[in-house]
Structure 1
Amino acid sequence: MISVISAYAPQVGLGEAKKKRFWDSLDNLVRECSMTHQQLIIAGDLNGHTRAEADGFSSVHGGFGYGVRNEEGRTIPEFAAAHDLVVVNSFFKKRDAHLITYHSGDHDTQIDYMLVRRGDLRVCKDCKVFPGEVCFFQHRLLALDINIKRRPRSTKMAVKPRILWKNLHGEAAEAFRTRVTMGVTPEVGGRTTTDAKKMWNRLENIIREAVKETLRVVVGASRTHIGRR
């Protein structure tokens, strides 16, 4: 299972309360996804400049960013570090044209990011901007190439072991009767109080052991079953 979170952080000029509310909400959502141990991809406009170099965040930043870090851009790697995530954009060396996600007149910045869990970075094959594709107004299309292997479904059906009660005749029937009697007699003779549930469970175990010793238990279809003594 894969969780994809589409995020849009408040703009730089908005109040600190709104920014905190956004990051708190994203924090709670990521924690919910962590409980299911599934793959996680965070994609969106996080309205921050993470800087070209890692600069103290080498564990989450690959060193191939763009621009100069601002206060909002510090929040992004700090958030990633707190949740063991990485900023995928920064781990692939690209020309500026494939790093700039926002273009308006003479203003070029990188504010759109892809984040994944650190352990999933190895399956990320590429992450870059397509300069010729305008996603929304001045935003450019940012694409993540990730290799997700689909686990093959097992074609084997779980089959419960079957007891061959048809063998309960002749010498096998006599051996089964003797084995059960030997197991039950000490239990009945030594019990001073009546406990139906415990007595029944014990009787069940005695019968199961007797079956293993005197009859056959098979697994699988009738033509391909494996016999077990």
Structure 2
Amino acid sequence: MNQGKLDIVTRELDRLGVHLCGISEMRWTGKGHFTTLTNHVVYFSGKDNKRESGVAFVVNPDVAGCVLGYNPVNDRIITIRIQGTPMNVTFIQTYAPTSASSDEEINTFYNQLQQAINSVSKRDIMVITGDFNAKVGNQSTNQCVMGNCGLGDQNERGETLIDFCQENNLAILNTLFKQHPRRLYTWISPNHRYRNQIDYILVNKRWRSSFEAAKTYPGADCDSDHQLLVATMKMRLRKIKRQKKPVRYDISKISDNYRVKVKNQFQCLLEHDHQETNGKI
């Protein structure tokens, strides 16, 4: 994700009316945030010295004023908290290890994600987004977690994701809404022969009725082999009231005559107090 591609992404987000976007495999080093020339705020978390993996949030100017804080956990997990009504919302962006990774790497990722979930306030609406490199398929093996509107066949990583959702009372949002197949796949192979659904939006089951839709936008120009996956959520944001900084006056601009006058008046008071004290003694 270079500056040119970031400009393309923010332009597409504005065109499609997307207020907050999570990005996987950002491939930036370090952690932090900055404001773009279009007043979008980018919060990112990557490795210290290596340009691989990495996650980020891109927030439009309207939502940026409602951000309570963010936590760059590591190069695969970042969280951000938004002030809203009736509840605050915590978003967690993830980038899971690929299918070629070892079971140990997968377990480490899910353990770290579990720690991030445990740190979220129980009063918050929690939404987890990202590239999970897993296929949950279109056959619902657990109707409490997913619907029948997925894509393709389930694989072992998909089973792991479903079990994780079951343990944390999460629903896989983009398997709950019936869409045309081209609105379901989230990744295209370099030769355009294969289309898979490996990116997901997970949400507390309690709050899934707050979402009106979840689908991909194949026409979005994001210059990526992943398709833009968008969910529509019903909520109201609240701007954060920032405390005004105390006004500091530049005393160097006060005229010399006035400063001499004030100094002389204080000197008279000090001499008067000194005389009274000596009288009492």
TM-score, length-normalised on structure 2? 0.51
Q: Are residues 1:43 and 2:99 paired?
A: no
SS in 2 for 1:21: helix
Q: What letter matches 1:54 in structure 2?
A: S
Q: Does 1:21 align with 2:108?
A: yes
Q: How does 1:89-100 map to 2 (within 5 A)?
A: 89-100=174-185
Is the aligned partner of 1:117 residue 2:204? yes
- Match of 2:175, SS? helix
**Percent identity (aligned):** 27
CA deviation vs aligned residue, 1:36-80 (integer Å, no higher than 9, x gap)? 42011101000000011212x100101110011000011111111
Task: Tell me how many residue pairs correspond in the alignment.
Answer: 150
Q: Gapped runs of 5+ residues in structure 1?
A: 152-229
Larger deviation, residues 16-25 vs 141-150:
141-150
Alpha-carbon distance, 1:136 to partner: 5.4
Is contact 1:134-1:140 (8 Å) kept? no
Q: For the pair shown, which has the larger CA radius of gyration, 1 or 2?
A: 1
Q: CA deviation at 1:150?
A: 5.1
Equivalent residue, structure 2, for 1:106: 193
Q: Return the alpha-carbon distance in structure 2 between the equivalents of residues 36 and 89 of structure 1.
A: 23
Structure with a larger share of its residues in helix: 1
1:128 aligns with 2:215: yes
Residue segments in structure 2 that go unaligned for 5+ positions in a row = 1-87, 239-281
Say which SS state the counterpart of residue 139 (structure 1) adopts.
Answer: coil
The Cα offsets for residues 117-151 of structure 1, whole Å up to 9 and x where unpaired, read as 00111110000000112545200000010101458
Residue pairs, 1:186-197, within 5 angstroms? none
Instruction: Give runs of aligned pairs for residues 206-217 of structure 1, distance below 5 A.
Output: none
User: Among 58, 74, 77, which residue is 2:162 paired with?
Assistant: 77
Corresponding residue of 1:30 = 117
- Does the 8 Å CA contact 1:64/1:91 hold for their aligned counterparts? yes
* Runs of 4+ more than 6 Å apart: none
Tell me the SS of whatever aligns to 1:25. helix
Q: Counterparts of 2:195 and 2:205 in 1: how far apart (Å)?
A: 28
The CA deviation string for residues 154-196 of structure 1, in whole angstroms up to 9 with x for no partner, is xxxxxxxxxxxxxxxxxxxxxxxxxxxxxxxxxxxxxxxxxxx
Q: Are 1:144 and 2:231 matched, yes or no?
A: yes
Q: 1:135 to 1:54 in 2, by over 3 A?
A: farther
Cα gap change, 1:81/1:26 in structure 2, threshold over 3 Å: closer, same or farther? same
Structure 2 CA distance for aligned equivalents of residues 102 and 136 of structure 1:
12
